[in-house]
Amino acid sequence: MGKKGKLALLGVAVIVLILVGIRISGSREQPKLPDVGKFDDYATQLKWGRYVNTKYKIVFPYPLSWSMNTTTLIFEDGDLITVEFLGPTQKERAEFYDGARFTVMIPQKTDLDLSGWIAEKHKGLPGEKPPDVNDVQLNGRNFKKVYTCGLGCFTYYYTTIDGQVYGVMTFADGPQKTGLEAILKEMLAKLELGSN
């Protein structure tokens, strides 16, 4: 077989491999966005990734179908990262009413005890109900859970490690709220902070 024949055979082989590859990758079933009331089917399709920040020693799992957002302004002293799911009825540039968020704050140094720090950061407006504060454990670490309702209701989780406050805010609302809250709970259960 001559040089031209070998090149032609090689070309045909490459084309066949490309077509086989396209057929195989095209036949994989992709997760579908949930219809209202079908979130459980969607939740079973979730594939998980891990967010790792070595500077602040923060690690948590998140659904790969959720998006990363570095432009949120939830915490007064700065957000490190937000992982969010936007529901089908959520509109751009509108109050967040359909979806879920898991926002991690940039850890803050403090000389206050955790209760004092929370009291400073979560002062209600006149006439607002004070936040509910409870002790909880997440992944073997003690946290203060702070539930606030003012301009929306949010749940915060705070702990101190080596003189720094670490915090996470969670929020879920909309038609899929129950399923989204279950995912947020799973993310919190596997949250690793500091020298865990």
- Does residue 20 sit in the same domain as residue 43? no
Which of 160, 159, 156, 137 minimizes the C-alpha distance to 147?
Answer: 156
If residue 48 lies in a helix (H) or strand (E), which one and from where to where? strand 48-53
CB atoms within 10 A of CB 101: 22
Do residues 141 and 110 both lie within one domain? yes
pLDDT at 151: 72
* Listed residue (31, 104, 101, 105) closest to 67, CA to CA: 101
Is 126 in the same domain as 75?
A: yes
Residues 85 and 20 reside in one and the same domain: no
9 and 93 within one domain: no
Ranges in the chain, pLDDT < 70? 1, 3-14, 16-46, 195-196
pLDDT of residue 128: 77
Query: Is 97 found in the same domain as 7?
Result: no
Domain count of the fold of the chain:
2
> Domain range spanning residue 14?
1-30
Measured distance CA(66)–CA(138) in Å, rounded: 22
CB atoms within 10 A of CB 164: 15
Q: Do 128 and 71 fall within a single domain?
A: yes
The confidence score (pLDDT) of residue 35 equals 42
The pLDDT tens digits for 75-110 are 999 999 999 998 888 887 777 778 899 999 999 999
Torsion-angle region of 54 (φ positive above 0: left; ψ -120 to 50: alpha; else: beta): alpha
The enclosing domain of 178 has a CATH number of 3.40.1000.10
- Side-chain half-sphere CA neighbours of 125 within 13 A: 4
Residue 38 is predicted with a pLDDT of 37
Q: Hunting for tokens 């020693």 — which residue is that?
A: 57
DSSP letter at 38?
-
Task: Note whether 167 and 179 are within 8 A (CB).
Answer: no
Asked if residue 15 and residue 111 are part of one domain, the reply reads: no
In a shared domain, residues 105 and 134: yes
Both 121 and 183 in one domain: the answer is: yes
Instruction: Provide the token pair at 178.
Output: 């129950």
Do 122 and 89 reside in the same domain of the chain? yes
Cα separation, 187 vs 139, whole angstroms: 10
What pLDDT was estimated at residue 116?
Answer: 94
Residues 84 and 114 placed together within one structural domain of the fold: yes
